[in-house]
Amino acid sequence: MSRTIREALNKDTRLCMSLAARPSNIGTRFHNYLYEELGLDFVYKAFTTTDLPAAIAGIRALGIRGCGVSMPYKEACIEHVDVMHDSAAAIASVNTIVNEDGVLHAYNTDYEAVATLLAEHRVPRRCPRPSLAAAGWPRPWWRRCATTGSAR
């Protein structure tokens, strides 16, 4: 028998979140569905904020496990994290914050995904140019191409 989310929540349930200018239900539903499918004791909630430093301090203070970061916060959050991993530092843009025992680690998983794709598919030196101006991935693509020698 399937339990409702209210029945499943308990004092040990871990919270993950996202920060976006206009949060939607898509990511919330997606993450919570996967947590349930994988049997993980996590819950995911989307937020917006008018006080980014306080929101990020809340991640640390409340022991929130992780945070997806969307525009307009991807660059502004940099000064509020403890550790910038190469993926985020390379493009000065954060899309994921992971709380490791109160130490906030910043990553850019788009950059990491591009690195994996370039390596696995041996993209030639003159790699194709992404042109989706409204999407968030052209910067990770170009920076990763440049740092791996896969771009012109």
Catalytic residues: 74
Closest-CA residue to 88 (of 27, 140, 147): 140
Render the burial of 93-106: b for 16+ CB within 10 Å, e for the rest. bbbbbbbeeeebbb
**Bridge partner list, 18:** 46, 68
C-alpha distances in angstroms, 132 versus 65, 135, 140, 152? 31, 6, 13, 19
Query: 91 φ, ψ to 5°?
Result: -125, 10
Neighbours of 16 (CB within 10 A): 20
